[in-house]
Structure formats: structure tokens, C-alpha cells
Amino acid sequence: MPLSLPFETTYLDLPDRFYTRQPATPVSDPQLIVFNHALAADLGLDTSDMTDAEAAAIFSGNALPDSATPFAQVYAGHQFGGFSPQLGDGRALHLGELDSPLGRIDIQLKGSGPTPYSRSGDGRAWVGPVLREYLMSCAMQALDIPTTKALAAVTTGDRILREQGPLPGAIVTRVAASHIRVGTFQFFAARGDVEALEKLTDYTIARHYPDAGGPLGLLEQVMAKQARLVALWMAHGFIHGVMNTDNVQIAGETIDYGPCAFMDTYHPDTVFSSIDHQGRYAYSNQAPITHWNLAQFATALIPVMPDQDRAIEDFTAVINRFPALFQSEWTRAFAPKLGLPATDEAAVLAQDLLDHMATAKADFTNTFADVHKTETTFPDWHKKWRAAAPDDALWLRHNPQVIPRTHKIEEAIQAATTGDYTPFHAMLAAVTDPFTKNDAYMQPPEPQEKVLQTFCGT
């Protein structure tokens, strides 16, 4: 095979109640939309002899390498606060793990067909969510925000029935440090399966946090990763949209780009998910929700501790440190956007600017990218900022000119449904070079272009 994928899948060393093995479901006519050659090179994969047809066959699941061991993972999760005791990969299939220059990674097909965890779904994806995930994950990588990564996207040749009618089917190939989630721990904790919890804890520590020293250290290190991740989201105006515990990845990467968006006009209560009627996952609520999700993770770990009463005290003490930890990470993420070191003064200036922006209905990205213009728009704030002696070089390095604006994503998706991928490729080039000015992608939407909601699922 032109592309060698030497999978060695350690997750399958865990008991079979962690997953279900199954072959990929064939598609009728796979065609390559895009392949991430730069990511392939980072993974140590030689794609020089791979044709588009061969890539489409592999990353549709039609022609998997012999080393692939396809399986779907099981997990549970709190979804909008309500606990679902069994979820799982309802539209995804793991091909296996690779040892790469980036470390051990999972490669997964998303939109690849039904699994035992699909419930009433068809397990498929249409081209819209596939292109959104590809654009968003590539943009996040270019912004140096921890994320799962997109390796390929293909059309399937099949039509997918959704509320809008029949739509072109597609599959995205996702690369992740792993797909272990808070909900993976919750699945076994809810069943009182202490043996499985112990095995999962040991596996997670060995794979991701080898110096954790045990469950308490694991909790501390996962909390640190999540605090940093969400602070970086917020520093770029990103709203995940569905921060359910099954969407909280233990390795600390952004995962599951469903109803997500980068804000245009700034307001702390902005919500994009079409089903988040209470604003649970609003921009300003992402830190409190992360705190809550981590508490669920701590609760799921308690059964593996020999002295559970003592563990409750110790784990509670760790969780109670989250607000201060997050505030520190928030300052560390926002201060350089003003060209300042991470101090209390910088944090106050950043929050004051956000307050001004909310009142003025200012564009999030463009305000930070053109912060010198606040001399006109927010003169009193500007004087305080200049008095703090900002470093322009530091400011420039931390403020993108281009983000994947939702109205431009929708334009690319609409074109793709007719078979025109030119807008998608043009936008991909822009969002993967985010610190270079590109007028076509820097403008906020006109009133008639605004997209106020994005949608869950594929």
C-alpha cells in the first residue's frame, strides 16, 4: 500500500467491555476533498506515492491497511447537566494508534457509519459538519491551541438524509492524542466496575501523564491542562458550544467541533448552540462549566482509592483550587494580547477592554488586532494601556488577523453542497495562516450574513 500505517493499538489491550470491534462500513464512491500533507509529515508518514484515489479509499474505510483494527469506544457523559449512562462512538471508528514524532496518536474516521452506540442515528456525516471540523481544527492548530487535528476529508458518493433533505455524505479523519474522555471514566464508575476504572486510570496515566504518581496526580494534571485550554479558547473568542463531559478529552485537546464558533461581536453571554436554550455553554460560562466537569471527573475517580473518605477530602481540595488556577491561566492568555506581561494590572486592563467592547458591540478579533485604534474608540482605556508600556512585537504575535468566521464557513459549506470546493480551499489557506492580513476573511458579517446558531451532530 502506498501509505504505510503501522498501527499498534494499545487500547485494545484493555478488556473488551471498553469497545466494540467492527469493520468499516463501505461507501459507494469515495472522492478526496483534502489531505493534510503537513500533518502527515509531522506524523512521520510518507505520502509521496499516494494518489488521491488511494487516499480516498483509505480514509473512507473502503481499503484499510492490514494493521488497522477498527473499533468504536464506549463512554457515558453528562449532557447539558443530565447524565446519560451509555453513549459511545455512534458515528466514529478508530483505525488504530501510531507511534509518531508527535507521540502516540489515535487515527479515527468520523461519519463512517453505524456502530452499536449509534442509538437511532445512521452513523454518517454530511459534508457541512465535516468541512466545519476540518477548518476549525486546522485553524486551532495554527493558533497554537491544543486540538484534535484533521488529516483528511472525503465525500462518500452517498446521500445522507437530514432535516434539510438529502445531502452529500462525507467522512473526516481525526488525529488525537487519544479519545479518552471524562465520560469514559464515568461509564465504568456508573456501573461500579472498579476493576475497569483501575485499568483505565493506569492506562491513562501511562499514556498521558506518566509522572502523575496516581489518581490524585492525574486529577491535578488534567485540571491544569483544561484550565490552560479553556483560557486559550477565551483569549481567541472561541465558544465550544457543547462542553458535555463526553466532550472533555483527558489529554487536554479541543475535541468535537459541533455547534462551535469564534465570536464576531463580543458579548460575554454569547451562545451559538441551537439546543443550548439556557446558555449553559455560553462564552462566559466556559470556566465554571470546566470546573463542574472536573468535579465529575474527580467523582468518577473516587472508587479506585483505597481510603475513599480521605480521597473525597483530597480531591475536593484539588477541585477547589480551580478558580484561582483558571484566573492565572486567563491572565497568561490575555496579557500578551495587549503586549504585556502576565500581571494583575494586565488582567484588569484586559477585563476593562472586554467590558468596553461589550458595551460598544465591538468585534472581538479585530479589536485586539487593531488595539491601537482604541485611542479613538476607548480613549481613557487607551491612555492606561499606553502607560503600561506594551510591547508591540508581543502583541502582534498573539493576535490573529484571521479566524474561521462562521458566515464564511457557511459560504464554503453551501458551495460544497453543489460540488464546488473552491471557497473551502481558499478559506483553509487563510485560516492556516492566521497572522497574515487577508481582507477577504477579516471582515465581520453584514447583518444579512450573520449566523446566530450552529448545530449539533453530523
Most confident of 13-17, 164-168, 447-451: 13-17
Q: Quick one: which H or E segment has residue 422?
A: helix 422-431
Q: What is the CA radius of gyration of the chain?
A: 22
pLDDT score for 172: 98
Tally: H helices and E strands in the chain: 17, 12
**Could you tell me which of 177, 171, 135, 138 has the C-alpha nearest to residue 43?**
177
Average pLDDT (397-401) is 98
User: Using one digit for the tens of pLDDT, what is the confidence trace for 410-434?
Assistant: 999 999 999 999 999 999 999 999 9
Which among 89, 106, 246, 276 is annotated as catalytic?
Answer: 246
pTM for this entry: 0.96
User: Using one digit for the tens of pLDDT, what is the confidence trace for 95-106?
Assistant: 999 999 999 999
DSSP-assigned states of every residue in 297-364: HHHHHGGG-SSHHHHHHHHHHHHTTHHHHHHHHHHHHHGGGGT--S-HHHHHHHHHHHHHHHHHT-BH
Is the predicted pLDDT of residue 129 greater than 80, yes or no?
Answer: yes
Average pLDDT value over all residues in the chain? 95
Catalytic residue check, 46: no
pLDDT score for 278: 82
Average pLDDT (252-280) is 90
Average pLDDT (236-250) is 97
* Residues paired with residue 165 on neighbouring β-strands, in sequence order: 162
**Could you tell me which of 86, 82, 106 has the C-alpha nearest to residue 96?**
106
Average pLDDT (27-46) is 97
- Residue 145: burial class (beta carbons within 10 Å; 0-12, 13-18, 19+): buried
Single-letter residue type at 328: S
pLDDT score for 457: 53
Res. 36 pLDDT band, cuts 50 70 90: very high
Q: Quick one: which H or E segment has residue 359?
A: helix 344-360
User: Using one digit for the tens of pLDDT, what is the confidence trace for 116-125?
Assistant: 999 888 999 9
Q: Buried (b) or exposed (e) across 395-417, using 16+ Cβ within 10 A?
A: beebbbbbbbbbbbbbbbbeebe
